[in-house]
Structure 1
Amino acid sequence: METTSAWQLQPASSRTRLWLFLLVVVLPVAITVAALAFVANDSGTGQLIANSAWLTNVAIVMGLLVLCLAIHWVIARALRRHHVGLDGAGFEIATTFYTRKLEWSALQLQQARVIDLDEHPECKPMLKTNGTGLPGFRSGWFLLRNRRKALLAMAGGPRVLYLPTTQGYDLMLQPRQPQALLLRLQELAPPHARR
């Protein structure tokens, strides 16, 4: 399976990875610490209860921290699973928790094009139905503004490869060089799939 770097999907940025850490680890732990501090400082709680609960509160925070770090590790690993592959049988896309292998006959290459989402707002993702959405990163199933279902693998600016399929959904991919991927798809596709 071909995996040339020129047309591989853009990886998640360091900004996206920072947002992931803040949302999955820092925020839940901070909320829990604040809630436990509020309960411990409540005037209705006796000093004896607050002192004996201190060890329990530390255990709660440490347990939550371990859980949040484990979840972060799983999602961060999934963010690295972001690539496309081509071979004689067809096209494969893997992004976070989603994988699709499509035969050449399932791709509508004659309608595929590189678009700028700022110039084509009807193709912008409107609603996440089953996917991962972080600032600067979208992966999974979304509903577009034109009401079409799409599998997205985007991690950057507005230029994407829009690739309709015969499977009832479209693909919106953000390779490093969208035009290079489109040309390579057209080169590898059998003649009947290019029409």
Structure 2
Amino acid sequence: MIEEQVFAVVPTTLRMWWLNLIFAGIIGLLLATLFFVRHLTASVSQATFAVGSGALTIRAWPYGRTIPLADLDLAAARVVDPATDPEARLSWKRNGVNLGVLRAGWWKIKGGGKGLVFLTAPGEAVYVPTRQGYVFMATVADPRGFLEALRREGAALPPVRENI
């Protein structure tokens, strides 16, 4: 019987460092994306809304902003249930988060127009139209108290003159 003979492949001159670099880049990009999504989700789910100094201040990266109370239509502001109110139902996400009950960012509203939304739980939410062409909608711990604070602060402002 003949003994087994083993023949090795001729070593390549091809260098594989570039393949390792591509894999490291892909892993780095995936990790950066995961951290970005985690930070975005944490930020919008812990948003705060401050009423004072003639403005509503939204603290939620990257959707935070300060809206002058004069730009809010406080007469049309109300408490709604976005699941049942046809004017407040969300249509589709334009730029934001949609993870179960957490819906935040810019959304198309079925009643027409767009909305800056911070919905973190089912049930009641504040619905505040703005004169900037969008609706602000959020679930807050005390929606009626929030609207009361907006209206109280808004009543202290000088009346808005409309340009005719």
TM range (shorter): 0.7 to 0.9
**Unmatched 5+ stretches in structure 1:** 1-54
CA distance in structure 2 between the aligned counterparts of 1:154 and 1:194, rounded to whole angstroms = 31
Aligned to 1:79: 41
CA-to-aligned-CA distance 1:118-149 (integer Å, 9 cap, x gap): 33133111021222222221111111111221
**Unmatched 5+ stretches in structure 2:** 1-16
Normalised by the length of structure 2, the TM-score is 0.72
Q: Which has the higher contact order (CA 8 A, sep 6+)?
A: 1
Contact 2:102/2:121, CA 8 A, preserved across alignment:
yes
CA drift at 1:170? 0.7
Which of these residues, 79, 86, 97, is aligned with residue 114 of structure 1?
79
CA distance in structure 2 between the aligned counterparts of 1:146 and 1:120, rounded to whole angstroms = 9
| Closer/same/farther in 2, CA of residues 69 and 109 from structure 1, 3 Å limit | same
CA drift at 1:76? 1.8
> Aligned with 1:158: secondary structure?
coil
CA drift at 1:68? 2.3
Give the structure with higher Rg (CA). 2
Contact 2:78/2:127, CA 8 A, preserved across alignment:
yes
Q: How does 1:15-34 map to 2 (within 5 A)?
A: none
CA drift at 1:171? 0.5
CA distance in structure 1 between the aligned counterparts of 2:113 and 2:158, rounded to whole angstroms = 22
Matched, 1:184 2:149: yes
Contact 2:128/2:137, CA 8 A, preserved across alignment:
yes
CA drift at 1:60? 6.3
Contact 2:118/2:137, CA 8 A, preserved across alignment:
yes
CA distance in structure 1 between the aligned counterparts of 2:130 and 2:144, rounded to whole angstroms = 18
> Aligned with 2:75: secondary structure?
helix
Aligned to 2:3: none
Q: How does 1:148-187 map to 2 (within 5 A)?
A: 148-187=113-152
Q: What is the RMSD of the two structures over their aligned residues, measured on CA atoms? A: 3.0
Matched, 1:70 2:32: yes
CA distance in structure 1 between the aligned counterparts of 2:32 and 2:87, rounded to whole angstroms = 38
Q: Structure 1 residues 55-64 or 111-120, which shifts more?
A: 55-64
Q: Structure 1 residues 61-70 or 80-89, which shifts more?
A: 61-70
Report the count of equivalent residues.
Answer: 145
> Aligned with 1:189: secondary structure?
helix
CA distance in structure 2 between the aligned counterparts of 1:194 and 1:121, rounded to whole angstroms = 31
Contact 2:125/2:137, CA 8 A, preserved across alignment:
yes
CA distance in structure 1 between the aligned counterparts of 2:74 and 2:87, rounded to whole angstroms = 20
CA distance in structure 2 between the aligned counterparts of 1:158 and 1:69, rounded to whole angstroms = 35
CA drift at 1:190? 3.1
CA distance in structure 2 between the aligned counterparts of 1:153 and 1:90, rounded to whole angstroms = 18
